Chain A
């Protein structure tokens, strides 16, 4: 186990390094410097700016400076907003994004697993058909369409929920549904097929033969194994929620990291794009790592090579 963890940690470090390198190369291959504007900047000003942002050093030197900054959790200054650093954006935005992400994750798990269980127990009947039709809708409709539709119906027409912002808990409802729609559908489908498979296995017949109630067979015997595939895809699900939040935060005007990232992308704020990408990637890789560890712990059949 220790060996597996160490190996995975090593891989994580390599991946992170690759990500930083790749992001750095991409952002420095943009034609024109970050201060190329429609209005020419005076050469002296340009030199001062480049001095300030460490842009006149040779590229490898810049890369190592950036890397050592990262080790101190310093993602550098923003090019577009003077006096702001990328760390500011992250510390400002993360509470909102984190809260929305966490709420959505809980929502996804609490709806998708029961949906999948009900669909598989009522296999072929109208409950199954209805839930799976819903799930197909959720997988095919893009999140921004769901978001716009929900906003139009519940905020504009029925006026039940606020249109923008997250001043109180009601503000989180629509973003949560729009953001989680895809994952709910995907996990419900996965849960259904996995439980269907497990329910056909011999040990379930044994359990039934022992005279255990059907409810106990499902909760104590079937679900334990059926839930494993759902846990495996939790890593990608978190990734999905994270990238999905760019659009959702933009639509519902939530001041989270996603909206900072989208802003930096449209305004070409290169250091912010770079810093945020590295942060997102590092966050995700850590999440996937945790999910994998969890997965190895709950399923003794998995050998960690």
Chain B
């Protein structure tokens, strides 16, 4: 007896295509997710979006809540214990902040007496007890019950402000959420407007061809020799300090690359047979453009857009950093970096946190853009 049994098949079965047909989008997704950096970038984009859009819902603070008494508190504190069981954090400007044992900030201690000669300051802890800060030697420390310098202490996480506070006592975590939101918003809107202008300009130029094309492309050539960052700055100077004017400044100059890409695509696509077929059944220019040419050029367009987003974020951060960004108390990541630059030595976390956020955004979009380019057009892969 053989263990092998003949399977009953029919001709139809053999002719049937057993794998599921894959759509273009499915195909792109299949190639996209096989690249680890692209997938990581995509996940990072989702996480960043969630952080920026949903984060503020869970935050007890708003981006403009100030408490000057609790300014410049880092995320990790070096604290010493006091008699009532709480902890005391000594700020670089010799103020005492009381924390409970879990690391929640309770507030600043009131100064009662400053003995400049002995170089000691007395603060009230509660009604009966006082603590003495001794600043004869650096670093300043509290005096223990025995009157000796109490150099013991430990590091504790800041439970009230997880990532610390900035120079005006605003919660950095919350401001990071709003900053990321604004940076992403500016980038998305600017990229979309640039895409639309680029498609329109490049599409018309490529479709019309001839002299129109030559003139339109000459204009693009002239624009692209001008350093665009300069013009974004100029346009921004003539407008006010709002969100809208940044978007306007960014969208008015960066469509040039997109226009070139679209024109190149349209020029080669319009020679192809399917366009001729469409023409022969009487479609007008509008239909050919919108139904045939643009959809077929969508791959390179999408890739250019994903590459536009990081450069928009980059330029926005750049402008904010040189001081012509969004008006306070709103903040983008660039303005947060700019605000923190002066105090880099004493409060480095105020600069490195928003800087890290900018880097993450840039990484995410660059990886997604790279992955998308390979996935949309495998021929381009180097």
In the complex, which of the residues A23, A145, A268 contacts B358, with contact meaning CB atoms closer than 8 Å?
Answer: A145
Residues from 141 to 196 in A contacting B, C-beta threshold 8 Å = 141-142, 144-145, 148-149, 151-152, 156, 193, 196
Residues from 337 to 381 in B contacting A, C-beta threshold 8 Å = 337, 341, 344-345, 348, 351-352, 355, 358-359, 362-363, 366
Q: Give chain A nearest CB distance to B197 CB in angstroms.
A: 17
Q: A14 touching B238 by the CB < 8 A rule? A: no
Q: How far is the CA of A30 from the CA of B239 in the complex (A)?
A: 7
Does B235 belong to the interface (CB within 8 Å)? yes
Q: A152 touching B344 by the CB < 8 A rule? A: yes
Residues from 200 to 214 in A contacting B, C-beta threshold 8 Å = none
Does A281 belong to the interface (CB within 8 Å)? yes
Q: How far is the CA of A156 from the CA of B230 in the complex (A)?
A: 32
Q: How far is the CA of A288 from the CA of B225 in the complex (A)?
A: 8
Q: How far is the CA of A281 from the CA of B345 in the complex (A)?
A: 36
Q: What number of residue pairs across chains A and B have CB atoms under 8 A from each other?
A: 96
Q: How far is the CA of A268 from the CA of B323 in the complex (A)?
A: 12
- Bitwise, A241-257 to B at CB < 8 A (1) or not (0) is 01100110011000000
Q: A142 touching B238 by the CB < 8 A rule? A: no
Q: How large is the interface on B (under 10, 10 to 19, 20 to 34, 35 or more residues)?
A: 35 or more
Does A219 belong to the interface (CB within 8 Å)? no
Residues from 100 to 158 in B contacting A, C-beta threshold 8 Å = none
Contacts of B318 in A (CB 8 A): 142, 144, 246-247
Does A285 belong to the interface (CB within 8 Å)? yes
Q: How far is the CA of A265 from the CA of B221 in the complex (A)?
A: 27
Does B317 belong to the interface (CB within 8 Å)? yes
Q: Give chain A nearest CB distance to B232 CB in angstroms.
A: 10
In this complex, the member of A144, A149, A239, A250 whose beta carbon has the largest number of chain B beta carbons within 10 angstroms is A144
Contacts of A277 in B (CB 8 A): 230, 234
In this complex, the member of B221, B227, B231, B366 whose beta carbon has the largest number of chain A beta carbons within 10 angstroms is B227
**A148-B351, A247-B321 in contact; A30/B237 too (CB < 8 A)?**
yes
Q: A15 touching B225 by the CB < 8 A rule? A: yes
Q: B359 touching A265 by the CB < 8 A rule? A: no
Q: A239 touching B337 by the CB < 8 A rule? A: no
**A30-B237, A140-B363, A273-B237 in contact; A243/B230 too (CB < 8 A)?**
yes
Residues from 1 to 55 in A contacting B, C-beta threshold 8 Å = 11, 14-15, 18-19, 22-23, 26-27, 29-30
Q: Give chain B nearest CB distance to A2 CB in angstroms.
A: 21
Q: A280 touching B337 by the CB < 8 A rule? A: no
Task: Please give me the residue from chain B that is nearest to A15 by CB atom.
Answer: B222
Q: Give chain A nearest CB distance to B363 CB in angstroms.
A: 5
Q: How far is the CA of A277 from the CA of B323 in the complex (A)?
A: 17
Contacts of B227 in A (CB 8 A): 239, 242-243, 280-281, 284
Q: How far is the CA of A262 from the CA of B34 in the complex (A)?
A: 45
Contacts of A139 in B (CB 8 A): 366
Does B47 belong to the interface (CB within 8 Å)? no
Q: How far is the CA of A166 from the CA of B362 in the complex (A)?
A: 31
Contacts of B221 in A (CB 8 A): 11
Contacts of A29 in B (CB 8 A): 238
Does A266 belong to the interface (CB within 8 Å)? yes
Does B71 belong to the interface (CB within 8 Å)? no
Q: A148 touching B355 by the CB < 8 A rule? A: yes
Q: B337 touching A285 by the CB < 8 A rule? A: no
Q: Give chain B nearest CB distance to A260 CB in angstroms.
A: 12
Task: Please give me the residue from chain A that is nearest to B364 by CB atom.
Answer: A140
- Bitwise, B194-226 to A at CB < 8 A (1) or not (0) is 000000000000000000000000000110011
In this complex, the member of B222, B229, B322, B344 whose beta carbon has the largest number of chain A beta carbons within 10 angstroms is B322
Contacts of B359 in A (CB 8 A): 140-142, 145
Does B189 belong to the interface (CB within 8 Å)? no
Contacts of A280 in B (CB 8 A): 227, 230
Contacts of A193 in B (CB 8 A): 382
Q: Give chain A nearest CB distance to B256 CB in angstroms.
A: 13
Q: A250 touching B362 by the CB < 8 A rule? A: no
Q: A140 touching B366 by the CB < 8 A rule? A: yes
Q: B323 touching A266 by the CB < 8 A rule? A: yes
In the complex, which of the residues B317, B362, B382 contacts A140, with contact meaning CB atoms closer than 8 Å?
Answer: B362
In the complex, which of the residues A14, A156, A247, A266 contacts B344, with contact meaning CB atoms closer than 8 Å?
Answer: A156
Q: A247-B322, A262-B323, A288-B225 are in contact. List 11 more A-B contacts (CB 8 A).
A: A19-B226, A139-B366, A142-B318, A142-B359, A144-B317, A144-B337, A148-B337, A152-B344, A265-B324, A266-B322, A284-B227
Can you list 16 A-B contacts with CB-CB less than 8 angstroms, sorted by A residue number? Answer: A26-B238, A141-B362, A142-B355, A144-B321, A144-B337, A145-B355, A148-B344, A148-B351, A193-B382, A239-B227, A246-B322, A251-B341, A265-B233, A265-B237, A277-B230, A285-B225
